Structure 1
Amino acid sequence: MGGYVAMNRILTALVLALMLTACAETASDSSEGDGAMERSAISTEGLPPESERLATERRLQLERSVDQWFLAYQQQEFSKADGLATHLEQYVNNHLAAIERDVQTSSPRFRKVAAAALGFSGKEEVVPVLIGALKDPFQDVVLASLLSLWRLSLSGVKVPAQPVAPLLGHSVADIRSNAAMVLAHAVTPADKDLFLPLTSAMEDEDAGVRLHAAVALGALGEPDAVPFLVKALDDPKALVRIRSAYALGRIGSRAAVPALIDHLDDPNNDVSKAIHKALQTITGQKIPRLKHEWKNYWKENA
């Protein structure tokens, strides 16, 4: 599965590329004449004043560091990227209040950078700031905020699913995909009201949306999701089929067994392995990855 993990890292980097390279504003974007959003203010009481020159230097430094991290991931230099992430975590937490303020009041360019940086903080306290930034009129800021919420959820920070779910219906595919990616880690069995938007997302034209929606449905654990995940076993994208198989295994409904057996001979070896694992998980059987043996088992134990 090492190759699959690497592939996931590459997909994540590609999503981040859209966030970092779109709308290349000039440094003059640091001015406030671009219609920065009016949002709930972050308290600056007790903070030392920061000159505009120092603020711009800090923002540019942060932008360079985030770009370096992205390039390392893009080039699959994962050790380098991990080292940069460690230093980014320290830098972000040393300037946390100022970066939170930038998400709300800076230019679009630096709102995007600040939103991307907060994901390195590992702090639950930044979640409300990022949730608020999901309403930003600039798509890059929304993309960055979603990616940071995803990073935080991976580090164990609790991210609420409900404020993210409406973005599954966004007109921009990359925003829908990033939203689904957050939900894949944020959804819990308590989020039953997300069943309909997640099953609708399984029909999305974007493969990234379908892939992450399948993971979220597995986390939701609702047996009624089985028909939607079974249908996805015929998805043209192998990663969608893999994640759908794992989701079926996680839900654990025996209603999925006949379809899993039918798809056990998927031409993609990784898909076939995922389907086999799901069958073993659901049935508790250690039958080899042979379709005829599973058919015989099911004939006797359906």
Structure 2
Amino acid sequence: MPLRQIITDLQDPDPATRSWAVDSLRRLGTAEAAGALVFVLGDPDPSVRARAAAALAAIGEPAAEPLARYLAAWDGSLGTVIPELLGRLRTTAGLDLLLQHLDEPDPLVRSAIARALGAISLELARSGSDNSAALSRAKTGLLDLLRDIEPEVQIAAAGALGQLGDPETCNALLDEMADDNPAVRRAAVEALGRIGDKQSANALARAAADDPSPEVRSAADFALRSISDRTVGSLVELLTSDALDDRIRALALLLEEGRSAVMPLTELLRRPEPAVRSAAAEALGMLGEPAALDYLLPLVGDGESSVRLAVVRALGRIRHVRSAERLAAAIEDQDPKVSGAAAGALEALGELSVEPMFQLLTSPCAETRVRAIAVLGRLRHKGAVNRLLRGLRDRVAWVRIVSAQALGEIGEGQATTALLRILDDRDAVVRAMAAEALGKLRDFRASMKLLDRVRDCSDLVRANSIRALGRIGNPVAVPFVTSALGDESVEVRCAAIEALAALRVVEAIPRLRALSRPWPLCPEPAEVKRVARSALAILEEIRQLQERTPET
């Protein structure tokens, strides 16, 4: 739809139409779209305002300048939507506006402003010394909100200061440890723990021993541990404790230590207890340091499956080609939990996993080939298409099935011809997955062949072919899809209803209304009625838009 029409719909009296226009602009994702969306921030409907803010946040950086220019003339209350949007975008252009509204009457708005200032402060701190003046102003605003009369505002401000991690704010947070509200005291304690400055240790020790609230005492104890002088070695030993709370605390503290914790943790990988080896592998994975690979890689062959599981998960977090190469071997593990975790870890490593997966495509084990193909499909790596096309000719049906699925996920049009060929495969599931993949490719060339499959003997093939025709959008499919409403299979009838909605066949509305009627007026099962109602909603909206849009 032209941008002009979308902008016109933004002024429609119907909130649903305005919401639809907002979603259309979000999909455009351009600065021009953002320039229109900013005006919806003043929409009278709160749900439309929230939708516009979410759309601007999704557009990201291109939305920053239009938003700043629009907000420069803002008059009245901010509400919560604008501060939340400024925080998500982390745009420094909104700093002045937020600081001007620290006295908003609604505490929810002031809390949102505190969170936004915290996000913007983090961005300013990362940007370097050039923004020191702006950062100082943002911190001053947060300190003002820390002294707010409403606890929820104080808590939000404390959380933001804790994330910022500036030791200069410790004194103000220490003052809030005397607040009457235990939730405020706990927020101040947690912020001090995150900042980690030793000047807070004495006050935290007192709170850990004497505060009347158990939640505050627990938070103070944890914060004190995070800034104490205990050695990494003692933390590593604590990781082997039988007490779950101790292990959790030790893990959190080790993660704060970073690289210095890697070598002591590798020592635990040699311990005889499987639980200790697993805990150490988990901690090393969270640290994500390649220096641990020499110690982790051999444990992919550990005799305990629980250890192997922890190790493959850890390797998925350490972005290095050696991780991917070793995980490629783990994909053949006899324990399905381990092999499944290895596949997930390879997917997490992204491009690093592509070459190792290519190597597995020639494995004599069909199950290994299937897992490698599945990973490549989820990675959507376009360079894998030619190799996956070979998988469509594999003698094992399951390999052909997964190859078709992967090609559909990757979405490269060069796969169309080969997928059309296996629509005649002897295996019904192969035919069904080929139809599904062709639907994802949305290639018009597939239309006629898919029409042949609408008469397939397999319910799954018929259903997938009909859905694919709906996604492709060739109007020649309409009579075939309409005829399928009378198919003996519930799944096929549901697919036909979905395809009619996808094809925008508003003429089907009366038929779908009849299918959605309650028993005994319509004997169709609940699933058919549910799908019919969903399709009706789509088609009726389309018809309304058509009626409102003059023909050109």
Partner of 1:123: 349
Structure 1 unaligned residues grouped into runs of 5+: 1-44, 66-86, 294-302
* In 2, Cα distance between equivalents of 1:248 and 1:107: 36
Match of 2:400 among 176, 180, 183: 176
More deviation, 173-182/120-129: 120-129
The residue number in structure 2 matching 1:25 is none
Larger Rg: 2
User: Following TM superposition, by how much is the alpha carbon of 1:203 offset from its aligned partner in structure 2, in angstroms?
Assistant: 1.1
1:93 aligns with 2:320: no
Match of 1:138 in 2: 365
Cα deviations by residue, 1:162-189 (Å, 9 ceiling, x for unpaired):
321111011111111111121221123x
Larger deviation, residues 259-268 vs 95-104:
95-104
Aligned to 1:49: 294
Q: Aligned in 2, Cα 1:236/1:97: closer, same or farther, shift over 3 Å?
A: same
Equivalences for residues 1-302 of structure 1 within 5 A: 48-50=293-295, 54-57=299-302, 60-61=305-306, 92-94=316-318, 97-102=321-326, 109=333, 116-121=340-345, 122-125=348-351, 126-153=353-380, 160-188=384-412, 191=413, 193-285=414-506, 287-288=508-509, 290=511
Q: CA deviation at 1:262?
A: 2.5
Higher RCO (CA-CA < 8 Å; seq separation 6+): 1
The normalised TM-score by structure 1 is: 0.60
Alpha-carbon distance, 1:194 to partner: 2.0
Deviation of residue 90 (structure 1)? 5.4
Q: What is the SS of the residue equivalent to 1:235?
A: coil
Shift of 1:136: 2.3
Q: Measure, in 2, the Cα distance between the counterparts of 1:228 and 1:104.
A: 37
Which structure has more helix as a fraction of its residues?
2
Could you say if the C-alpha distance between residues 255 and 102 of structure 1 is closer, same or farther in structure 2, counting changes exceeding 3 Å? same
User: Does the 8 Å contact 2:470/2:499 carry over to 1?
Assistant: yes
- Per-residue deviation, 1:159: 7.3
TM-score by length of 2: 0.35
Q: Give the distance between the partners of 1:169 and 1:239, measured in 2 at CA.
A: 21
CA contact (8 A) 2:391 2:399 kept: yes
Shift of 1:266: 0.6
Deviation at 1:257, TM superposition (A): 1.7
CA distance in 2, matches of 1:106, 1:210: 31
- Alpha-carbon separation, structure 1, partners of 2:411 and 2:387: 11
- Percent identity over the alignment is 23
Q: Which secondary structure state, in structure 1, belongs to the residue aligned with residue 430 of structure 2?
A: helix
1:116 shift after superposition: 4.6
CA pair 185-51 structure 1, distance change in 2 beyond 3 A: closer
SS of match in other structure, 1:123 = helix
Q: CA deviation at 1:158?
A: 6.6
Letter in 1 for 2:446: A
**CA shift for structure 1 position 252:** 0.7
Amino acid at match of 1:124: G
* Unaligned runs of at least 5 residues, structure 2: 1-289, 515-552
* C-alpha distance in structure 2 between counterparts of 1:48 and 1:288, whole Å: 61
1:152–1:113 Cα change, 3 Å: farther
Residues 408, 441 of structure 2: 8 Å contact kept: no
Deviation at 1:63, TM superposition (A): 6.0
The change in CA–CA distance for 1:237 and 1:91 in structure 2 (over 3 A counts) is farther
Distance 1:257 1:91 in 2: 50
